Every structure is written in C-alpha cells, then in structure tokens.
Structure 1
C-alpha cells in the first residue's frame, strides 16, 4: 500500500535544524506506514546526508542529493514531487517543528474536501527577528525542541509569536478561497496539495534561482487549475528562527516577483512587483478588488478567445 502523504523537505547545510524537523516527524500521530519523508539536499557540505540516513530506522525516509549550483530549492522540491508515492504532498522547511497531529490534520482537510485543495498550515514564529527571535530561540532550547506539542499548545493559548499571516486570517475569517489572489499566503514552510495536481501544473518553476516567490508562483498556477485554498489551524507548526529577517528577504524576492509578473502577464500578477513595497500580503487582494481587476482565469480565457478569433480572421 502506498503512503497517504509524502513529506518533502528541501535543505542546505542545516543539519541541526533538519534534525529538529525529523524528530517532530517521528512523533506524528499518523502511523509510520501512512507517510514517507523525502529529504532533498541542495548540495550541502555538512553532515546532512549522514543525519538524514540515521533516521531510516524510525521513518520511511528517502534521501536525494543534487550538486551545489546555487539556489535551487524549486528543483529540489520538484525532485520530491517526482518521487512522491503519496496522494498528497506536504511541503515543509528545515527548522519547522510540526505538531504531532500536523500530518493527520493536512490529510483530514484533503479527505473532507469535495474537490482538490491546497492546505495552508499554521506557522508560529515565521518572520520573527531581532530580540524576539533571540527570545524565541531561548524558549525553544528550554524545552520547545524536546516537546513541540506542549510548546505549540502554550503559543496557541497565549497568542505569542502568532503566524505573521494572522491578520490576513482574521480579516477573512479563515475563508479566503474565493479571493482573487488566495495564493498570496501559500508559503511552503508548511503547506500541502494533491500530488497529481502538483504534477499536472508542472511543479515549481526551476528558473527561479533566488529566495522568495517560487511558492506564490506555484500557488497561482494551482489556482488557475481550479484548486481551492484553505487554512487548517490544526496543521500547526513552529518556525525556528534562523538567517536573515523577513523584511530583508522580501527585498531579495523583488527580482523574482518581477520575473513572475512578466511570465504570467495578467493584470493581477502585474501587481506582484509591488509586494514588499507599496503592497503587502494583507492589502494585495484589497487593491485587486479596489481596482476592479479581472479574475485571472477569466482574463486568460478572454485573451485566448480573442487570439483564436484573430487567427481565424487572418
């Protein structure tokens, strides 16, 4: 019997963080036979390979390596999608600790849905930086790493280090599938989608070779394909702080956003280069609606019809 889901983890020189993620997967309530873990190494020079392989007695884990040729996280995730045996792919990042019920919650959303859905899991601590990040690391080292469930339960009770998208969720009451751009918060630190739909839309765009935007671009194509987006708060996790701030990363992503806008060319996507500057993920849909921009799917249908009519008249 194939597993119900495939967990895809791209990684690069983060063996310590990967270990935390794998530990949280060992503790999942979902039976081991119901999920596989695909670790795709984007050219690490640390002991990532040895670490990953040390978990094969506790997880159905497969390790893949690609040479270090720069930032190739899109290709790494595509390696996972290509080898996935599960009907659902759950995508997480190194350093994300999953609640023990996270995978079961993802699968529950897919099983309950009437059609294909893209599920956004809740991520505490994402975007935390500076003194807040340092405090969060201390809290994790004081017990959070050892017992993610208890740590996440406390965060849920107190509201501390809430998902940076919480204002978005509160604004739309967790119901955002019918927004013109529901994909704007489809960030692959903790999301899932049907494997067949990921393959049908072509997976991640491997031309994207720097941080940010490859997940939004994939989400956009899933949206065009009729996949509906939803949040499952029970698919919760905590993002261990590491690296640069979200603000600096967003600045790095602007080149990707310009590429994506040019690639797709719909009126909605032409706004994407403003993300992180004049627009943010909370205001993006308001501006789309305020400007009366056409639905992307309808716009593309009209363009195709006009093109066909022009071709027939020549």
Structure 2
C-alpha cells in the first residue's frame, strides 16, 4: 500500500534533479510504501536520456510533457497520478536527508489536517558551478572546497570558467559528503524566532506552504483543489493554495527534521521579481481580503514580515470589535493596497501614486476616511494599523 507520494516537477534541472532522486534512494522509510512521481515538464536538457537507466527500489512514475506548462500544471499532473495518503511536493533541485520521508510520515500520524514545511530551516548546497555564477559565489565555493580539502575540485574551479562543473556525484549523495558544500540559509528566520515552530500568534501561517518541500494529506488537498494554473513563472501559486488550505481549517507547522538542501543555480533576480509581482496581483485579486492585500507593503520594503502580522492582528481586532463601524476606512485602505499592487504588476512607479489614484470611491470619501482614521487613533488600540495607513497616504 502506498503511504506517501512525492511529486517532483522538473524543467531543465539536469544533473541536479538526478542528485535529488539519488537522495530519495537513501531514505530510511520503507521504499515499498512510497512512490515518486517525476514530471519532466518539457525539458530540453539531458533529463530524459539520463532517467532511462534510473531504476530505484521505490515505485518511480516518470511523466514527460512535450511542452513546458509551468510548475502549477506539472504538479497538478502529479496529483492526478498520486496514490499515497500523504503528498510531498519537492522541487527538482532539493537534496533531502535520509530521514526526510519518515519524519514527514510520522508527523502526519500524530496530527490530522497538517501542512508541514521545513522551509524555515532551509539549507543551501553547491553541487554544480555554473558560468553564470557571480564572483562572490565562486569565492564562496572555493573557500568551502579548500576547507573540505577537495583539491581536485579546487583546481577545476580555477581552470574552468566557461562551462558547468559538477562537484557532487551519486557516491557523495550516498555518503552524505555533499554536506561539506552546504550552509544554513533559513527562509524567514525572523518568523521562527518570533513565533516558534507552531507559529503561535502568527497571522499568516499559509505562507509556510513552500511548494519546494512541503507535505499534506491528499484528502485535504482534494478538498480545496490543486494549484491554480493561471499563475505563470515564479511565485504565489503555492501561497494561493496555502491560503485555500488555511481557509479550510489546515494546521500549519514547521520542523527542522523535514528541511532540505537547495542546490544553487543561476537566477535572474530581476526576472523573478517581475514574475512575482504579476503573480501577486493575481493572488490579491483572487482573495479579496485585507490579510492578502497588505503583503504589497512587504514586497515594496515598506514593512517587515513581523510588522505585517501585527498589522493584520490589529485589523482583525478592529473588525471583531467594531464590525459595523469604520467601514470607509476599511474599504479605503484596501483600495490603496490594491492600487499599489496594480502599479507594481505593471512596473509603474509608486511615488506619489495617491495623487494619481483613479478610484472615485477613495477620492469622494477621502474626508470620511480620514475622519474615521482620527476617531480610531483616539482609541489608541490600533497604532501599527494607523501608522501604516499614514505612511501610505503621505508617500
């Protein structure tokens, strides 16, 4: 009986995707009870040829898409072919420790409706050196190789600059020698420090749904539906699904023993941010709530993630205490946030956007909104909410 299905979408990630698969061969979990569904999403590299000889002990389902359809579509294909009671989403460049699958399984035996992520404890590892790496990255790799006394690799790194150099082999995965080239790089470390692994008091637990390495019951996934395939490129397809899970009563937790090693590869930060802003706009429009709208201020660097949670907490308190009051302020604030997201998605400047706002509601009711803001301020219960609003309209 299949207990766990691991879904891996891959697009031009050879040879890193092979190293990920090798790490799954090293698992302590009973291989007869797990399956790996690998979706080759229209890759043009050596992935297809390399996997012809891959014969692991676990059930391996290989699906090849002729054209690249994106991560959301690829993962949905994986979901359709999954027979496990527990689904683990794993990116193609993630190396996992031998107890990774077992720890996911154990956690789900203890708690129902659980979404479990290791993202807050993520580590990074250099398994390949790419010509596109920065000088800073190459120096970092060289220092690690020197520390590990890997002289041959150091020599190759010095001599080769125009082609990819593979530093880690299958043997290195099996002996866990790859850890010599790894370093801690936790995602959102401030969250775990402030709220702990159970995210107690954190107002946005669904942001822990990192599709790079996360698990949940298949039954819960079927309840909310899979990934929204309208999200293209990088970002927010996972938060969208996470938010739907949150709305349907999922419990979000993070644990160090289900973390993974992200294999570093070239990334265009500019392209990633551009795609992320477009996807965020879709995410914000799809979920018409203050708690999804306020994130635009994190994207633009105006507030921190801790401040974001505090502001949402104050907004929820305002709505609970005064459900039928301050309606103009509530609506006007969200209009501002939506306009910021629209400008960001279209790569337009945010400076003095308040003067160019084309919302007739906000302009016509601005005096009412400001009046309600002053009344709220007199209550002295929502300082972060009011300060954030003030900063926006003063921009």
Normalising to structure 1: TM-score of the pair?
0.81
Unaligned runs of 5+ in 1: 300-314
Q: Which residue of 2 aligns with 1:310?
A: none
1:217-236 → structure 2 map (5 Å cutoff): 217-236=240-259
Q: In the alignment, is the contact (CA less than 8 A) between 1:13 and 1:44 conserved in 2? A: yes
Question: 1 CA distance for matches of 2:283 and 2:318?
Answer: 18
Q: Which residue of 2 aligns with 1:216?
A: 239
Change (3 A) 1:110 1:104: same
Higher normalized contact order (CA 8 Å, seq sep 6+, divided by chain length): 1
Match of 1:119 among 97, 116, 137: 116
Q: In the alignment, is the contact (CA less than 8 A) between 2:231 and 2:237 conserved in 1? A: yes
Question: Does residue 8 of structure 2 align to residue 9 of structure 1?
Answer: yes
2:15 partner SS: helix
Moved more, 265-274 or 228-237: 265-274
2:184 partner SS: coil
Question: 2 CA distance for matches of 1:293 and 1:204?
Answer: 31
Shift of residue 181 of structure 1? 1.2
Normalising to structure 2: TM-score of the pair?
0.66
Shift of residue 125 of structure 1? 2.4
Q: Which has the larger radius of gyration?
A: 2
Cα displacement string for residues 198-250 of structure 1 (whole angstroms, at most 9, x for unaligned residues): 12111100111121110111100011110100012111211011121667624
Cα displacement string for residues 131-181 of structure 1 (whole angstroms, at most 9, x for unaligned residues): 6644665648666971474655996xxxx4231222211111212165321
Shift of residue 83 of structure 1? 1.0
Unaligned runs of 5+ in 2: 126-132, 146-165, 324-395
Aligned length: 288
Moved more, 143-152 or 230-239: 143-152
Q: Which residue of 2 aligns with 1:24?
A: 23
Q: In the alignment, is the contact (CA less than 8 A) between 1:123 and 1:237 conserved in 2? A: yes
Match of 1:194 among 208, 217, 224: 217
More helix by proportion, 1 or 2?
2
Change (3 A) 1:166 1:133: farther
Q: In the alignment, is the contact (CA less than 8 A) between 1:37 and 1:60 conserved in 2? A: yes
Shift of residue 105 of structure 1? 0.7
Match of 1:289 among 298, 313, 320: 313
